[in-house]
């Protein structure tokens, strides 16, 4: 009912048909509760519908990654709410480092992209997710904050930390 035109309704229905079981599986693996996992999937679809205009192709790795990131983050939000007194964010305890960009010499652009992609996949999920949303989908910090359910300032800080972690990983692999 929140979707106004028929094309978007059809797109949302197709997304649900293709990805709902995957989303439920991911949410259940995090939450270990079927009913809570169903709630997480519903909440994830609400966020997906809010960002439906960003999805160009339904059945592709980018859309699947986008859907997985959203459901995983919502499931972790649910888990944090359940264990509020037990959970401390690692992001809050990291030291600040410089924001210099990594320099890669004597390699082709294709090799550099491959190294960067490999390094991103080896990062902490919080960092790889936010880099994926920023680089692949070109979301703004405001859009990322809405998708991940965090403040815009937190999104900006996570992105900065993710870039630093990526730089360190690339420099470590290079040296």
User: Are 139 and 65 spatial neighbours (Cβ–Cβ below 8 Å)?
Assistant: no
> Which ranges in 32-95 belong to alpha helices (H)?
34-50, 61-82
Nearest one of 14, 8, 78 to 49, comparing CA atoms: 8
CB atoms within 10 A of CB 150: 19
Q: What is the CATH number of domain 90-174?
A: 1.10.10.10
The pLDDT of residue 115 is: 79
The pLDDT of residue 87 is: 39
CA–CA separation, 96 and 85 (whole Å): 25
pLDDT, averaged per 10 consecutive residues of the chain (175 residues), comes to: 78 92 91 91 91 87 89 88 56 42 57 78 85 81 85 90 88 78
The pLDDT of residue 2 is: 62
The pLDDT of residue 112 is: 73
Name which CATH class applies to 6-82. Answer: mainly alpha
User: Are 122 and 169 spatial neighbours (Cβ–Cβ below 8 Å)?
Assistant: yes
Domain spans of the chain, in order of start: 6-82, 90-174
Q: In angstroms, how far is CA 44 from the centroid of its own chain?
A: 12
Task: Give SS3 for 138.
Answer: coil
The pLDDT of residue 102 is: 45
Structure tokens at 136: 């692949």
């Amino acid at each position: 009912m929140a979707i106004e035109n028929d094309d978007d309704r059809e797109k949302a229905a197709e997304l649900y048909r293709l990805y709902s079981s995957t989303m439920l599986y991911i949410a259940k693996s995090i939450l270990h509760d079927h009913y809570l996992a169903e709630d997480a999937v519903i909440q994830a679809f609400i966020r997906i519908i809010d960002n439906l205009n960003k999805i160009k192709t339904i059945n592709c790795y980018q859309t699947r990654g986008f859907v997985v990131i959203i459901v995983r983050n919502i499931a972790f939000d649910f888990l944090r709410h359940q264990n509020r007194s037990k959970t401390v964010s690692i992001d809050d305890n990291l030291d600040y480092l410089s924001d210099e960009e990594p320099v890669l010499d004597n390699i082709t652009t294709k090799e550099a992209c491959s190294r960067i992609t490999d390094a991103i996949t080896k990062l902490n999920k919080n960092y790889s997710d936010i880099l994926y949303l920023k680089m692949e989908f070109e979301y703004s910090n405001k859009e990322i904050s809405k998708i991940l359910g965090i403040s815009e300032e937190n999104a900006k800080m996570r992105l900065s930390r993710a870039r630093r972690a990526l730089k360190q990983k690339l420099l470590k692999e290079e040296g």
